[in-house]
Structure 1
């Protein structure tokens, strides 16, 4: 579990650094988000993780860590756009709110005796609906639907943080001392919790982020 959190922290650090570099350079930002390259930046993380996650358990640890790092860079490029929309102060504030929420729910998932499988399954079903709603809102551009998606999204990823932590703890105990694939499990777990953290952060940013136009 310690390796999982270390790997996740590394990935978050890489994404944060890349996003900050992109957001603080008007030239890089214009190149990435004011041209057709914006679609590449937007969809590259999704495409990459689709293939990376499918082959993760067949890689050696070094390869898995390399691909996790590459995914973190790609996601960081995409996240760079938030610095063009929100103030840096509100982004930092939201990051710490996310970290506090994530930490509390991860601790709960690790220590609770309650089986969170039902809650996790419900949250994953809600996630499918959330994705569909986001796709629909790309065309509708409804502020009310955007608010609803963000509100529900915070609840979904808060629950998933606790559920995924408990699931990873169960996987660890199921290994029963078998360390042959421990490195891969640590990367898989880091990727899972990284995605929970990033998505929770994005959802919370809709509530706590201060737009530059309103500053």
Structure 2
């Protein structure tokens, strides 16, 4: 009897691990699709010369506000909207972010942007693997990182008026640590969602869960990239 219970437990663990792996793959696929779309649009807008026009126009700030609104709307209404709508909003956000990020080509060389992207990808992958394999509960880390995120947002607003270079670099360094930590936390959270049975809840729940997970990791990656670009980006000036 004990052997049978042990075998059943092992089978259940394996089933959870397999479900989690499948769900993580869906999340990472959507995240990769979003990043690809963002990168292609950013490059095309910059190459067309529209980035320079956009940077000098108040439309830029309107687009940034629209991005923030899309993120909050998607996160708040993910349980009530249709999977197709959630997917469309994520794709729309990725495209819109590509437009606004095209302005980085005005500040940094293409070579330094590409190099920073590779560094970001390496750091992100390392922390993603850590989040998947660690036995440590990272929920406490996530709460701490979220408080740190609020802190750097407030500090960034203050520094908008102070224009302190010391505070700028401090925010950048702390920002890197925060988004590295959030990457591990978010991956572990997504892994746990997969193990808790979302793969048995139907296609709609799976799609929406994958989209919201992809959005979280997409934001971690983009923000880590922008923070690292402050250190590794080669200025055009």
Length-normalised TM-score, structure 1: 0.95
Kindly state the Cα deviation for residue 6 of structure 1 after the two structures are TM-superposed: 0.2
- Structure 1 residue 16 corresponds to structure 2 residue 60: no
Partners of 1:6 and 1:112 lie apart in 2 by: 22
1:1-215 residue pairs with structure 2 within 5 A? Answer: 1-26=24-49, 28-175=50-197, 177-180=199-202, 181-213=205-237
Kindly state the Cα deviation for residue 17 of structure 1 after the two structures are TM-superposed: 0.9
Unaligned runs of 5+ in 2: 1-23
Kindly state the Cα deviation for residue 52 of structure 1 after the two structures are TM-superposed: 2.2
Length-normalised TM-score, structure 2: 0.86
**Count of aligned pairs between the two proteins:** 212
Kindly state the Cα deviation for residue 74 of structure 1 after the two structures are TM-superposed: 1.1
- 8 Å CA contact retained: 2:52, 2:106: no
Kindly state the Cα deviation for residue 173 of structure 1 after the two structures are TM-superposed: 1.2
Aligned to 2:17: none
Partners of 1:110 and 1:57 lie apart in 2 by: 25
- 8 Å CA contact retained: 1:87, 1:212: yes
Q: What's the secondary structure of 2:200's corresponding residue?
A: coil
The ranges of structure 1 where at least 4 consecutive aligned residues each deviate by more than 4 angstroms after the TM superposition are none
Kindly state the Cα deviation for residue 176 of structure 1 after the two structures are TM-superposed: 6.0
Unaligned runs of 5+ in 1: none
- 8 Å CA contact retained: 2:27, 2:214: yes
Q: What's the secondary structure of 1:72's corresponding residue?
A: helix
